[in-house]
Homo-oligomer: A and B are copies of this chain.
C-alpha cells in the first residue's frame, strides 16, 4: 500500500505539559497543495480522536481519506489555493509517537510508561511541525471534534500563530456527560482482563473492552433522529442473527457490531486511553484563572468560523456557542453556523454538503 505520510522529528527532549519528556519522538503528517511565496496559504487540520493524517487522497496515496469530500482541488478546502497539512495527533498510533511506540530508554514499547498526554502536547507538537515547514503564521487552523480542542490549545499557547480559525463540532472544555461517556469507554477497556494493565499483545488482546468502547462511541457520535430514519425497527434476516442467547436481532445492533469489528484491532488500546483522557482534561478555563470565557478571550485571531450541530449529544451546540462568543469577545470577526444535520456529532464527516457550504463559503470570503 502506498503511503503519503511524512514524519517530523520533534525537538528532543520534548517536554510534556503535565511532566515527563519524550526523546526522539515524531509526528506523522500529510500535505496537499503548495505553499505560496508569502507562505500565507498554509492550513493545518487537527483531527478527532481516531483519524490518521490521511484526510484525503493525494498523489502518493490515492486511497480515500477520512474527509475526502471536503478536501481537494475545487472542493470546500481547495487544495489549488491552500497548502493543507494534516497531522496525526501525538499519542495516536497512526505514525506518531504513542504508547505503542518503542521507548528508546528501554527498547520496549512505552505502554503505560508513556508520560501523561494532554491536548496541549498535541498542539505543541503541531506548532513545532508548522515552524519546521517555515511557516510563522497559519493562514487557517481547522480543528474537528477533539482536534478542535487541540486547536484552541494551539492558539492560546502560541499567540499570533494563526490568522483565521475554523472550529468544527468541538468544545472549550469537557462537560460531565462527555466525561462520563469517555470514562465508561476507558473502564470497559481497563476492566477487560486481557488489557492486563496495558501489557496485551495480539494473542491476548482486549477485544471485548475495545468493542464495547467503540460501540458506545458510535452511539454517542450519531443521533437518535438519524437512526429512526435509517434503522427504525428493522430486523436482521434469520441467517444474519447471532445464534446465541440474547444475540443480535435488529439492524442497528449489527451496524454497531460492524463498526466495532473494524475498529478493535486498528487502534492501539493504550493510545486510545491516553487520548480519551486528554480530552477529559482539556479545559480553556485553565487559561482564564478558572473562567472558561476568560480563557477563550485570550485567543487572538482575525476571523473565525464556528460550526456545530443541534443533534450532537457529545459536544452540544451550546459549547460551540461559547467558543463563538469567546472569540468574538476577544475581537475576532466570528461567523457562527448551527446546522440541523440529523447525524449528530459525526455530521461533519457525513453531511459534506452543508459543512462544505459553511467552510467553503467562509474560506472564499477571506
Residue of B nearest to A248 (CB): B183
Cα A79 to Cα B196 with chains together (Å): 55
- Taking CB atoms, residues of chain B closer than 8 Å to A178 are 224
Closest CB in chain B relative to A281 CB, distance in Å: 9
Residues of B with C-beta under 8 A to A329: none
Which residues of B are found within 8 Å of A173, using beta-carbon distances? 233
Task: Please determine whether B283 and A176 come into contact, CB atoms closer than 8 angstroms.
Answer: no
Q: Contact: A180 with B219, CB < 8 Å?
A: yes
Contact B224–A176 (Cβ < 8 Å): yes
User: A208 CB to closest chain B CB, in angstroms?
Assistant: 5
Residues of A236-293 at the interface with B, using a CB-CB cut-off of 8 Å, are 244-246, 248-253, 256, 273, 277, 280, 283, 285
With contacts A188-B212, A208-B191, A219-B184 taken as known, whether A253 is within 8 angstroms of B179 at the C-beta atoms is: yes
What 0/1 readout, one digit per residue, does chain A (321-332) give for beta carbons within 8 Å of chain B?
A: 000000000000
How far apart sit A345 and B216, CA to CA, in the bound complex (Å)?
19
How far is it, in angstroms, between the C-alpha of A212 and the C-alpha of B211 when the chains are bound? 13
Evaluate contact between A183 and B313: CB separation under 8 angstroms: no
Chain B nearest CB from A60 CB (Å) reads 37
Interface string of A172-200 (1 = CB under 8 A from B): 01111111110110111011010001100
Q: How far is the CB of A6 from chain B (nearest CB, A)?
A: 32
Contact B180 A316, beta carbon cutoff 8 Å:
no
- The contact sample of 23 A-B pairs, CB cut-off 8 A, is A112-B245, A173-B233, A174-B233, A175-B233, A176-B228, A176-B230, A176-B231, A176-B233, A177-B223, A177-B224, A181-B219, A183-B248, A183-B256, A184-B215, A187-B212, A187-B215, A188-B212, A216-B216, A224-B316, A233-B283, A233-B285, A246-B277, A249-B280
A227: interface (CB < 8 Å):
yes
Query: A183, A188, A285 — which one has the most chain B CB atoms within 10 A of its CB?
Result: A183
Contact indicator B245/A175 (Cβ below 8 Å):
no
A349 interfacial contact with B, CB 8 Å:
no
CB nearest neighbor in B for A218: B180
> Which of B174, B191, B248 sits near A212, CB closer than 8 Å?
B191
**Is A15 interfacial (CB 8 A cutoff)?**
no
Q: How far is the CA of A125 from the CA of B177 in the complex (A)?
A: 38
Contact of A250 among B233, B251, B273, B280 (CB under 8 A): B280
Closest 5 pairs (CB-CB, A-B): A177-B224, A176-B227, A176-B252, A176-B231, A191-B208
Contact: B180 with A252, CB < 8 Å? yes
Q: A219 is contacted by which of B177, B193, B248, B252 (Cβ under 8 Å)?
A: B177
Are A224 and B112 touching (Cβ within 8 A)? no
Q: Does A232 contact B (CB under 8 A)?
A: yes
